Structure 1
Amino acid sequence: METKIFQKNEIKMAADTLRQNELVAFPTETVYGLGANATSEQAVKKVFAVKGRPTDNPLIVHVQNFEQVKNYVAQFHPLTPQIVERFWPGPLTLIFKTKPNAFPSVVSAGLSTVSFRMPNHPLTLALIEATGVPLVGPSANTSGRPSPTTSQHVYHDLQGKIAGILEGGATEIGVESTVLDLSDSHRAPMILRPGGVTKEELEAALGMDVLVDPHLVSESEAPKSPGMKYQHYAPSTKVLMIGPTDWEEALNWAQKQQLKVGLQASPEVVRRFQSQAQASYCYADNQVASATKGLFAGLRALDEADLDYIFVATYPETGLGTAYMNRLKKAANQKYFMNN
């Protein structure tokens, strides 16, 4: 199969392809999604097959607007209108209980809930409108690999396996959306996956505490949200997390072990230590937003450099740093330098 790159003036062609139950990757403000007709069991099953994704890992349904969600949900959490008004379109996924048989069961991994998101990207909103149905859109990469933040990343993983990619440039945020569980109308909203909308932003908008699900799903339990159960975001090269004061010790250890390492960190860290490494990926500045935007791109770039380890900078787990560290911990299999 030839994988076509659709330009912005070819959205109708991309939509026609999706209506034929083929797969087309699309850009969002978070990462690129692997699009398929969410109402077609045949199309959705292709997503799992192409990604190598476990079938008990539910998918997020991408919609054009909130009115589209109303076709599938029987009852909404009382805070839903306030949350949608403030955060949609945007990097926030909302979980609702759906009407019976609203989607093929493969979309929700057999659960009674479905995750919905309205992405903040004009090309993808136009694509959903032109297709005429909601689209599932997990990250458009091989399952477990770093998520794609450019069309080139998608092409690298999925060329010849999908019908097309809608070109939208590099993504803005760089990690997947926050997932907020609103399926229980009698409970406060609960974050199942941190992302582009922070706990602090949600609490400020709602004037109340927002719960956070702290546990990792066990092997026997079906995850309610993507990203809760399986190792994610990992390059082939081993990743170690390096604390702010541990760089010198970590690099000295690597030199003694005759290991080839790459640095992924702020300009300040890279300038100081790059002479002791075989490769480096420098974030745009020292801020966590830049680190988050560059996390997956850096892991992918350094994975091509024939290294033994990628050393990646940690950030405080507050605000957007919560999402950054959530992804980095999974990419590193929870391993810090001192734990190596």
Structure 2
Amino acid sequence: MILITQDLMASDEGVARAAAILRAGGLVAMPTETVYGLAGDARNGTAVAQIFAAKARPTFNPLIAHVTGLEMAETLAVFDDRARAVAAALWPGALTLVLPLRSDAGLSPLVTAGLSTVAIRCPAHPVAQALLRAFGGPLAAPSANPSGRVSPTRADHVRAGLTGRIDAVLDGGPCTVGVESTILGLDGAPTLLRPGGVPLEALEAMLGPICMGGDAHKPNAPGQLASHYAPEAGVRLAVTAPQADEVWVGFGPGCKGAALSLSPGGDLIEAAAALFQTLRDADALAGPGGRIAFAPVPESGLGRAINDRLRRAAAPRN
């Protein structure tokens, strides 16, 4: 079924309309500080199933439940003192916690992919918070794009990928962080399940050494599939001498001749915010059958999240 996708502005009226659509079991793309999320009522199995259908997302890949804050989060998951301390320090923000699922959470099993844990985030974007408050419950919200493709950081990106498949796009302007949330497992030893908008170093300063985790074959959190964030063009990484037929994307001041740059000054915050738009721009320049080459990006701070996305973009396609 083809839907008429409404364009909603981030006004009181637009937020109220979006909340009404969600209460009726519809889907709304909402802005967050990381990327746009495709929101549906996390307690409505039909709505959650429609998220998977709209994205053509495999149902073994769990979703993140978005909440207004710790009070709502504790109705969904079991928090210990450690998890509460992390949430108090870093929420609202670009951090998702994976915690034991409460038996009375009431979430659709599709949100957790049938697992005994749940991924929860409290977004910092004021429009996302306004929508969560107006709706009055948790919203399941993966990135608002066809599964495996480049994540959306502007409302136009959502429209290009999902018009006709969802009910509305709530336009809150460009996303400021530009890469998805960091996912931290706290259902046992602290484990980094996905690098993202909160650097690993910030988590280690609070928790000490953190294990590395994530399984592309049996994901327990989003963003673990080997091939993800993929443009149409092929992608090559850590390239200092591009080939003549490649669109070279630079990083830092040493990339003279690059067609595009994540950050001419080598700023990782700027690079993260620009990553997905730059992938789209490079894909357009490369054209059908083209190739994109990315200059090296440091594997530290937000560079860890940038490189994670680029490695998945460059992975063999399914």
TM-score when scaled to structure 2? 0.92
In structure 2, the partner of 1:288 is 268
CA contact (8 A) 2:253 2:266 kept: yes
CA contact (8 A) 2:226 2:315 kept: no
CA contact (8 A) 1:193 1:228 kept: yes
In structure 2, the partner of 1:12 is 16
% identity of equivalent residues: 39
After superposition, the Cα gap between the structure-2 partners of 1:78 and 1:267, relative to the gap in structure 1 and judged at 3 Å, is closer
One-letter amino acid matched to 1:191: L
In structure 2, the partner of 1:232 is 228
SS in 1 for 2:231: coil
Q: What does 1:154-173 align with in structure 2 at a 5 Å threshold?
A: 154-173=158-177
One-letter amino acid matched to 1:24: V
Deviation at 1:230, TM superposition (A): 4.1
After superposition, the Cα gap between the structure-2 partners of 1:144 and 1:322, relative to the gap in structure 1 and judged at 3 Å, is same
* Equivalent position to 1:330, from 284, 309, 312: 312
* Equivalent position to 2:291, from 285, 288, 309: 309
CA distance in 1, matches of 2:201, 2:238: 26
SS in 2 for 1:115: strand
Q: Which runs of 5+ in 2 are unaligned?
A: none
CA contact (8 A) 1:317 1:325 kept: yes
CA contact (8 A) 2:250 2:264 kept: no
Deviation at 1:268, TM superposition (A): 2.9
One-letter amino acid matched to 1:273: G
* Equivalent position to 2:99, from 92, 96, 100: 96
**Are 1:132 and 2:136 counterparts?**
yes
CA contact (8 A) 1:31 1:149 kept: yes
**Are 1:3 and 2:5 counterparts?**
yes
CA distance in 1, matches of 2:277, 2:250: 12
Deviation at 1:217, TM superposition (A): 3.0
One-letter amino acid matched to 1:2: I
What is the aligned length? 310
CA contact (8 A) 1:69 1:116 kept: yes
One-letter amino acid matched to 1:97: P
In structure 2, the partner of 1:338 is none
CA contact (8 A) 1:284 1:290 kept: no
CA contact (8 A) 1:240 1:311 kept: yes
In structure 2, the partner of 1:273 is 257
CA contact (8 A) 2:251 2:296 kept: no
One-letter amino acid matched to 1:106: L
- Per-residue CA distance 1:45-100 (angstroms, 9 max, x = gap): 00000001000000000001110011122x32330121011100000000111122
Deviation at 1:285, TM superposition (A): 3.3
After superposition, the Cα gap between the structure-2 partners of 1:42 and 1:333, relative to the gap in structure 1 and judged at 3 Å, is same
Q: Which runs of 4+ in 1 moved over 4 A?
A: none
Deviation at 1:283, TM superposition (A): 3.2
Deviation at 1:281, TM superposition (A): 4.9
Deviation at 1:284, TM superposition (A): 5.7
CA contact (8 A) 1:196 1:320 kept: yes
Q: Which runs of 5+ in 1 are unaligned?
A: 336-340
* Larger-gyration structure (1/2): 1
In structure 1, the partner of 2:280 is 300
SS in 2 for 1:285: coil
SS in 2 for 1:242: coil
Q: What does 1:119-198 align with in structure 2 at a 5 Å threshold?
A: 119-184=123-188, 188-198=189-199
One-letter amino acid matched to 1:100: S
**Are 1:68 and 2:47 counterparts?**
no
Deviation at 1:282, TM superposition (A): 5.2
* Equivalent position to 1:48, from 40, 46, 52: 52
* Equivalent position to 1:28, from 32, 36, 53: 32
SS in 1 for 2:98: strand
CA distance in 1, matches of 2:253, 2:225: 34
In structure 1, the partner of 2:248 is 263
CA distance in 2, matches of 1:311, 1:166: 33
CA distance in 2, matches of 1:266, 1:199: 21
SS in 2 for 1:79: helix
Deviation at 1:216, TM superposition (A): 3.9
- Per-residue CA distance 1:95-114 (angstroms, 9 max, x = gap): 11112262111111110111
CA contact (8 A) 2:7 2:168 kept: yes
Deviation at 1:316, TM superposition (A): 1.6
After alignment, is 32-41 or 310-319 more displaced?
310-319
